Amino acid sequence: MTSQKQKMLAGELYTADDPELIADAARAAAWMVRYNGSLAWDAADRHKLLAEGLGQVGAGAVVRPPFHCDYGYNIALGDRVFLNFGCVILDVARVEIGAGTQIGPGVQILTADHPRDPALRAEGWESGRSIRIGANVWIGGGALILPGVTIGDNAIIGAGSVVTRDVAPGQTVMGNPARPVAR
């Protein structure tokens, strides 16, 4: 029998009220309390704590508290990744952020999705689609990255943009929904 966590990780419909997922979320919440209280800590100590809560943390990666996520274990940060204050990553599916990427304050990276059928939503079903952000990407403050999106290396996402579709390497997008613009 497939567990709700296995369904979640496979991108299938699942229910988050499963005891295993509730325990995972509680562990992540306890870690976030510690991490979000670490702003004044030495950078090396904060990096060690970051590595305790996330699936992969590259050398020199910085996440400025406050930071919020669902589980943490589905998040992979490359070397020198920088997330500014107030970022949210809903990581019911894998989130990969490539080396040297810079993410502005208040950015939301949302893998969580819900059925379009209102009856299934009412029953508590949900799903997730992975997000991949390449290397050396710049994401402006307040941007939203929606489920299933891939952002190529060296792309730029304008502040406040809502990214609903893949972004090609080197492309600059902005707006709601985000559309390509000349650089």
Using DSSP, state whether 29 is helix, strand or coil: helix
Contact 92, 70 (CB under 8 A): yes
Q: Quick count: other Cβ atoms within 10 Å of Cβ 169?
A: 14
Q: Which helix (H) or strand (E) holds 113?
A: strand 112-113
Catalytic, 68? Answer no
Q: Looking at 27, 64, 114, 132, which residue is catalytic?
A: 114
Give the whole-angstrom CA distance, residue 86 versus residue 78.
Answer: 19
Each residue of 87-96: b (16+ CB within 10 Å) or e?
A: bbbbbbbbbb
Residues with catalytic annotation? 114
